[in-house]
Structure 1
Amino acid sequence: MSASEAVQSAEGPKGLARLGTNTLSWLQAAPLTLVLALFLIFPIVTIVIVSFWDYSEYALIPDLILDNYTYLLSSPVTWSIFLSTLGYAAASWILTLLIGFTVAYFLAFHVRTLTWQIVLFMVCTIPFWTSNVIRMISWIPVLGRNGLVNQGLMGVGIIDHPLEFLLFSDFAVILAFVHLYTLFMVVPIFNSMMRIDRSLLEAAADQGASAWQTLWSVIVPLCRPGIVIGSIFVVTLVMGDFITVRLMSGGQGASVGVMMNNEISLLQYPAAAADAVVLLAVVLLMVFGMLKAVDIRREL
């Protein structure tokens, strides 16, 4: 037997073993790949295709036109709606970040025992066991013209007449968003804080750093992955939400989700699909920007 034949015969079982390992890996990944293809990729591709169709009052016309995108990008109304949606997302992100970071900081650094951390975390979680719609509706008797807030303020003499902006306004929409999505900010930030080595805080204190200096120079930089993950959750949820805007604004607020829902109710599916594609592109750009700011894989 020649030397080359000997090498080939020796590598034969190894090659078969590698082939078997690769086949097994593909088989293990196949179910998840199939699920993603059926429930994520296929619907997105379908929406993109439909966004180029034409339509009339009573029918969809398969075609390849840019009219839906031309109208969307040239209409001042749609631009104002997108800006309104971005405003909701920015305000909700800032408030949920402040509240979520504060709650996570308290749970991670001021609650000393694991038992109490679990108990308090469950207290934060229990309201999320109910429907979002029920939690939104619960604000109506609180913020309404004759609600608890207005009655209480008038009872102590702070105001003479009910405050109209508390309900069915942008204030109510943002308040509902903060109420609904703050937990999505608390969880990842709390997880990042629990990973921080407490000896780093002791070292900062030994170097004479104040509590604020330790917070900004040690804790916040080490919590960046959690902040980014929570921000992605909150921003994507707010950008695609339409139920909250419709209910809490009393039909007076505008968002891309509400616009798409109105177009769908009028059977204008291609126009709604074009809105969805542009909204998806905007959200992906925002997520890409946040991921570029922090390398989550490296810092986790």
Structure 2
Amino acid sequence: MYKTWKGVQPYLLATPQTLVFLLFLIFPILMIGLVSFWEFNGYTMVPGFTLSNYADVFTEVSLRTYLNTFKYVVLVWFFCLAIAFPVSYFLAFHIQNQKLQIILFLICTVPFWTSNIIRMISWIPVLGKEGLINSLLLNLNLAEQPVEWLLYSDFAVVLGMVHLYNFFMIAPIFNSMMRIDRNLITAAEDMGASGFQILKEVILPLTAPGIAIGSIFVVTLVMGEFITVRLMGGGQSASVGKLIQTQIGSLQYPLAAANAVVLLIVTLFLVAGILRVVDIRKEL
């Protein structure tokens, strides 16, 4: 009896988490997949089976929206990495005082003290036609008229996303760098390696799992983003997330569900590609 209880106990302990996982993740995804095959007669959903929703996903307009979303993903990922790696490197290897290191790392979390919408709105008086940057350019005679592409453009969308998600890249990269054995760097220096060689042959390979984790965070967040696209794009930019929001607003739930399924599959492929390149199991 005791051996039976010991054998069943691990399964009982995992049961609550499994039920939560099934109820709040698997079941909603299955429902979205089911609705994606239903019909829409102009004002309500009709249970049934049709592939027309998926056919609409692969129209020219939808494909351009997906390509535009991929463009955001690549640009935001690149700039987040370009900012996060030097910041993490500075904190991990150039700040020796642990308290100061923690304080500077916490400063990176300051943007998270306010909501995403507030952070986006805060860029309007900076990037607008009468904002700080345009006022400075006009006063210095660097521009004859306000620069319009600073706000309500793809530039503004990418800037807003980098502002929002940069910390998701900094945190895992910083964590990976802090785990690097400093004796490896000392040994490389004793062998006559230059700073660039140490960065290339020691630090970068050992930081790869953190870069992969940060990339997964950034890619998945940007793929489903719609608030930043709406606020910073001003209706001039498009993404799959915004497309789904528009379809939900017009009660086209089956079509929105089909786009959601395709978006989920594409995102999973991107994540799987990252995991194929870098093994992150040692980092978890």
1:202 & 1:56 partners in 2: Cα distance?
Answer: 69
What residue in structure 1 maps to residue 202 of structure 2?
218
What residue in structure 1 maps to residue 182 of structure 2?
198
Aligned partners of 2:87 and 2:170 also within 8 Å: yes
What residue in structure 2 maps to residue 33 of structure 1?
18
**Structure 1 vs Structure 2: percent identity of aligned residues?**
56
1:213 & 1:161 partners in 2: Cα distance?
Answer: 47
1:157 & 1:286 partners in 2: Cα distance?
Answer: 45
What residue in structure 2 maps to residue 263 of structure 1?
247
1:20-64: CA deviation from partner (whole Å, max 9, x where unpaired): 222111111011111111100000000000000001122211001
What residue in structure 2 maps to residue 95 of structure 1?
79
What residue in structure 2 maps to residue 44 of structure 1?
29
What residue in structure 2 maps to residue 22 of structure 1?
7
Shift of 1:118: 1.0
What residue in structure 1 maps to residue 114 of structure 2?
130
Match of 2:230 among 234, 246, 259: 246
Shift of 1:299: 5.7
Matched ranges for 1:174-185 at <5 A: 174-185=158-169
Shift of 1:213: 1.2
Aligned amino acid, residue 42 of structure 1 = F
2:67 & 2:252 partners in 1: Cα distance?
Answer: 22
Report whether the alignment pairs 1:282 with 2:270: no
Match of 1:62 among 30, 47, 56: 47
Match of 2:38 among 53, 61, 67: 53
What residue in structure 2 maps to residue 9 of structure 1?
none
Report whether the alignment pairs 1:237 with 2:221: yes
Shift of 1:211: 1.1
2:154 & 2:192 partners in 1: Cα distance?
Answer: 45
Shift of 1:19: 2.4
Aligned partners of 2:35 and 2:253 also within 8 Å: yes
TM-score, normalization by structure 1: 0.93
Pairs aligned (count): 284
Aligned amino acid, residue 255 of structure 2 = A
2:88 & 2:3 partners in 1: Cα distance?
Answer: 46
1:98-138: CA deviation from partner (whole Å, max 9, x where unpaired): 10111111110011111001111111112211100000000
Report whether the alignment pairs 1:153 with 2:137: yes
Query: Which stretch of the first structure deviates more once superposed, 277-286 or 125-134?
Result: 125-134
1:204 & 1:154 partners in 2: Cα distance?
Answer: 51
User: Bigger radius of gyration, 1 or 2?
Assistant: 1
Report the secondary structure of 2:109's partner residue. Answer: helix
2:283 & 2:45 partners in 1: Cα distance?
Answer: 49
Shift of 1:244: 0.4
Consecutive unaligned residues of structure 1, counting only runs of 5 or more, are 1-15
1:177-201: CA deviation from partner (whole Å, max 9, x where unpaired): 0000000000000000000000111
Shift of 1:17: 4.0
Aligned partners of 2:176 and 2:283 also within 8 Å: no
Aligned amino acid, residue 140 of structure 1 = I
1:195-223: CA deviation from partner (whole Å, max 9, x where unpaired): 00001111111111111111111101000
Shift of 1:264: 0.5
Aligned partners of 2:210 and 2:283 also within 8 Å: no
1:72 & 1:126 partners in 2: Cα distance?
Answer: 39
Aligned amino acid, residue 7 of structure 2 = N
1:71 & 1:124 partners in 2: Cα distance?
Answer: 42
